Structure formats: structure tokens, C-alpha cells
Structure 1
């Protein structure tokens, strides 16, 4: 999974941006696709040029990649350090930008320019953050892969209502319950592809019993991080419960500590619902979607892999997994699975699926150096 969260360490004086919604904005649904990392990716106009954007309420200020800024001639007038998942990054600030999507037009907008383009493969030119999204009510219809912007105060569907506010940082915050214990404030982060992250202190306080911990990998603007993770039940928004969810645990000193938050809710959990985010009206509304009861897809191999055209590269070996017990190491590469070349499997779109296969299945793997290994899958978390 990939996650982006951006919190400027020093918030510079904002220019007077102007935001308007067209009269027919309610009818102007914006289609989106899910990126490899579970982010909502859509088309936007930036200074009159088409761009690919990520809808990211977990970013306090919208920003573009340095590569895209160069293509449209957007230049930074000032720079500052920002705190992000994985560490600190430099952000440049440009003024006078115009962005448009889904009936919204924002002019004289301050736009950040990322200095960390190469750290994560999001396949996007821009991240649209809370500075833009806070103007309106955001209606996300995950089942039909579309969203729209409405005037704040509109309530286009009914459901479970929870409080939603903007922190002093500008992030959207609400609450959730884990094992019957309320966790708040939690950041509502449409740019985080994972499901739920809580602080170590909140995990301990929940006293969750029966959960088996392993490790997983996350990418943020500040780099790569390893976190403990488990699959848990008893996760709920008000009276709405999710059968099971992947939960990550963040140690002290990370983004949750810096942002003064107890947890973070990402798209992996939000996509189980139709969601209305309206910080101006102080509410988040959730209606169960088609994925409300879907089981979590668990690794049964313990190998987290990056796929390219000809090979699978191991980026993380999960703790206590079959792969860990078999001595697998980060950085190893796989060129054949059960005698079929990864290059051929890639063309069919199934090169990584075996890593979450049925427990008890034995997979025969050929490394790119010619070494052959067998790995028997099992459930370990």
C-alpha cells in the first residue's frame, strides 16, 4: 500500500484564493479510477492544462510534482520543510494557480511543488488537498467510482452521521471505535490507500485480544516505513460496523504524533461506504456500500512485491510469515512462478495474485539468478 500525508511545518501566508461552484455542479460527477495504491485518481485542469490528480484530504495544501510544474512553467517563489509519512520533505510554493474539476474553479491558489517525485509511483501530476476540498461537501460514491462537489450543507443521501472538523493544521478529523473503545481524533484521509492506522498507545489501550501481528510496508512522501499490522474485527463508525479490517500501528514520533492525532482512516476502509465529507457543516455521513462485508485480502506468502515487466522484486518480508521462516530477504527477484515466466504472467495481469493464494498451496518459484525454491502458503495473521 501507498500513503501520502503532508503537513507543512511552517504555514506561509496564504494568497486570497477564490473558489466558485458552477450552478450545475451537483450533476457534474467526476469519474475516478483506483491507483495501484488504492488512491482515487481523476482528471483535472491546472492553469488550463490537463493533469492526473489524486483526491487527498490527508494533504493540508494541494501540490504538484516537480516534473509537472516544469512542464507547465510553474515556479516556486519560496520553500519550506514539510512533515510527511516516512520523514521530512522540501516543498516549494508557487502563486497564482488556477485549478478546475467537477464544477469547481479555484483561482489565485497557492500550489505546492514537491521535491520528492521519485519516492513513490502514484502515477499522478497533482494531489488535491484539504485546502481545496474544505470549501464544499464532497460526495464519494465508491461503488460507482465517481465523486462530486456540492455546496456545504447539502445532504444528498441519508446514513450514519459522525462529527467532522478541521484541525488547526487543516486536516479533516472525526472518530472511530476499535474493540468498543472510541479513538479520536482520527484523520480522514482519502489519499491513504490503507484502511486504518492507530497510534501504539491507542492499540494498547484497546486491549485487543486474539489479533496476530505481522509487519507491512508503507510509502509516503518522506520515504518508506515499516509498521506492525493485524486484521481485526469490531471496527465501527457509530452504529456501522465493518466485519474485519486491516489495522496498522504507528509508533511514537511518527505522523500521528506530529499532527496530534490518535489515528488515520484511509480509502481501504472508506471504500466500503458511500461517504459525504462536509467540514463546513461539521459532519461526515456514511452509507453502507457493496463492499461493507468484504473480507480483507491477506498475504499468505509474506512476500510484498513490486512488479515490473519481467520480474517480481521483494520489497518486504512480513514478520512470522512462511517467507520469513524460509529465509527470504528483501531485494530478491523472482522471474518464474510455477514454471511460468513473470513476463508472461504480467501480460495476463496475475503475476502477484498467488502471494495471497489458498493456505496449503505450494508455489514453486525461480529466482532471477536461477535458484529454485518452494513456498507453502499459510495464514499467519
Structure 2
């Protein structure tokens, strides 16, 4: 079931300082049968790729995050597995800087790749980062996967790592490189006739396209009707402006009806010297090959390549918490904003039906993007009921 791509989780981590930690130099080996070693995944509530791998023989749930320069282990997982950590430094993350620790690793196994030796960053990875009740153990980033071609088949919910230079399917191409300074995957887009770069290619960012305030300034698209949305990074929540543009180019690809977010001045992208990010909500419309060693991204249309983005008609961005919906943000100019809704309120029923435990996968979850003019009765957890008339507002 397609769902509104907000609130979204942003897991970029850049600028990590080298720790005073003695480790064995890392060695990565790609199995001879790597092409057959598909890794199955599911998409989190925040649109990230979640899968299982092993760390020093222990199973771990992980997010595939090309916006992370150094792979990350959660402090919770490090404590549970008895990893020795060394506190050292901070890193730039979406929402603010985060304190870092480091741990030596002996053996990481991910699909057809085995890495022995090396180190991994250790930070707090809260459950809010995936929008679900259970936190993940790892973020797998550039240091583990950057030397290979990454083939992501979103429609089949699987990915694999291949030797750089392989071309397992045909599609349109766009430039791709690993930044020498930021050490993450980067490309460029064209909007309104303007070439915008560098754009971080970030599978851990659940949004579609995000621009810095500087990159957005003066664009022909900047006069479009905009609203607001909330996202959550490792450094905390951020509010961005949001619009839908009729067309955007990524290399040879022309994509219709693209949701874009615009960071406020001094946001994460501007702070690290990037023009913005290409996120998972955009990428999952395609089968994607990310091969920085060959200098290319390859995209083939998936089932939802031409589907318009889901647009809220309520203006309430919520997160399921058991059998209630917590209001995280009220979108500017929306029906909810016009009728006085506030962040922090909680909904326990919709049109008289209690919020189900599996809300995210239930048909009831489509109410917030319903037909304009529909009146939805929202039962608050304090016993009050409010009617909300849905409408198009951006």
C-alpha cells in the first residue's frame, strides 16, 4: 500500500573524526557468487531499506544509507554485544551535531561482501529514526559499500553488491561520484533549466528531493504554492518547506511530479557544502544501480515511476504509537491548521473506528490523503471528537 511520504527520517552522518582506536586495517572481499547473493529487505515507515546482516557473528538489523560516510552502530547494540567503545569527537547530522564513539570490528558480512578488521562509529540510533517502535542496530554507509556497484531492486524488495563496472540491467544514466570531502555518494539535478550540484544521493533519507535554501533561491519553481513538513535526523527534528514541481531532470532521466523539500537557511545541506539530497522516496520509483567507481547511476522505471506523489489533504503528519496516532506536525495552510490542530495531540479513532495495531498497513491509514471535500471524524484520546474537512492546499 502506498503511503504519504511524511514524516520522513533523515540519517545522514558526515564529518566524523578519526578516533584514537587501534584496529586491524580493513580488508573487503567480494564473493565469486556475489551476483546470486541478493539481500531481502523491507521498507521502514520512514522509507528506508531495512535488512539483516552479521557483525562479529551476531545478527543485526541495518539500514542501507549512502548518506553516511562512516557506517554506524547503535549504542544499544554495542552494549548488548559487549563491544568495547572509545568516545571521540562529533559528526554533522541532520538536525544537529551528534557525539561519537568508535568500536573495532572483526568481521562484517553483508550479502556477497565480507569485511575483516576496521572500525565503526557508535551513536544513539533512536526508534524515531525509522518511524517505528523498534530501533535498528546499524547504518551501513559508504565505507562498506562504496567500492562496489549497488543494485537496488525496489519492486522486488532486494539488493546486491557487485563488482564495479557491471551493468546488470539497462536504463538511463546520471553522473555519480564519491565526494573527496564529504565521502558520500553525490550526483546533480536540473530544475527550471538550472543545473544544481552537488546533490547527496542518500538512501537513508526517506524524502524525495531536498534543496538547501541557497540552491532553491531564484529557481523558477520557487514561486509554487508551498506548505511545511517535519523530518527527523540523528540530531533531532527539522521543519522544511514542501512543494510539488511538475518536472525534474536527473542525468538522462526526466521525472514528472516530484515532491521537493527546502531546508531553512543554515540547514544541514548548506552546512556541509551540498546543494541538497536525492532521497529514497524518489529512488524507489526505479530500479537503481549506484556505481561510483564507474562514475554512473543507472535508473530503470519501476511500478510507481509515473505515479504522482501522495499529497496530504488533511495537513496532519502523524506517527502510529500502538493504538494511537501522535500528531507530529501541522502543515502550513492546511485544513488542520485552519481549524486549530496542534502538534502533540493524539488521535485514538477515525470515523468511529479505533486505531488498529497494524495501522501502517491497514486501509484506514489512507484517510489523511482522502478525497477533497470528505469530512473525517477524528476521535482524540482525551474523549473529544473533531470533524476535519479534507482539501487540496499545495
TM-score (norm 2): 0.92
- Name which of structure 1's ranges 106-115 and 187-196 shifts more when overlaid on structure 2: 106-115
1:137-156 aligned within 5 A: 137-156=149-168
The CA distance in 1 between the partners of 2:189 and 2:137, in whole Å, is 32
3-state SS in 2 of match to 1:304: strand
- Name which of structure 1's ranges 1-10 and 83-92 shifts more when overlaid on structure 2: 1-10
User: Alpha carbons of 1:66 and 1:139: their partners in 2 closer, same or farther (altered >3 Å)?
Assistant: same
CA offset digits 1:154-195 (Å, max 9, x no partner): 121222222211112211111111223211110000111110
Deviation at 1:87, TM superposition (A): 0.5
Is 1:130 aligned to 2:164, yes or no? no
Deviation at 1:340, TM superposition (A): 1.5
Deviation at 1:253, TM superposition (A): 1.7
Among 370, 384, 387, the alignment partner of 1:374 is 387
The CA distance in 1 between the partners of 2:360 and 2:114, in whole Å, is 40
CA offset digits 1:42-80 (Å, max 9, x no partner): 110111111111000000100111111111111212421
Deviation at 1:274, TM superposition (A): 1.2
- Asked whether the equivalents of residues 7 and 82 of structure 1 are also in contact (C-alpha less than 8 Å), the reply is yes
1:90-169 aligned within 5 A: 90-117=99-126, 120-121=129-130, 123-167=135-179, 168-169=181-182
User: Alpha carbons of 1:147 and 1:307: their partners in 2 closer, same or farther (altered >3 Å)?
Assistant: same
The number of equivalent residue pairs is: 381
What are the ranges of 5 or more consecutive residues in structure 2 without an aligned counterpart? 1-7
The CA distance in 1 between the partners of 2:289 and 2:334, in whole Å, is 38
3-state SS in 2 of match to 1:246: strand
1:254-333 aligned within 5 A: 254-333=267-346
What are the ranges of 5 or more consecutive residues in structure 1 without an aligned counterpart? none
Deviation at 1:150, TM superposition (A): 0.6
1:171-320 aligned within 5 A: 171-208=184-221, 211-320=224-333
- Name which of structure 1's ranges 340-349 and 324-333 shifts more when overlaid on structure 2: 340-349
User: Alpha carbons of 1:156 and 1:380: their partners in 2 closer, same or farther (altered >3 Å)?
Assistant: same
1:19-58 aligned within 5 A: 19-58=28-67
User: Alpha carbons of 1:244 and 1:348: their partners in 2 closer, same or farther (altered >3 Å)?
Assistant: closer
Q: CA RMSD in A?
A: 1.8
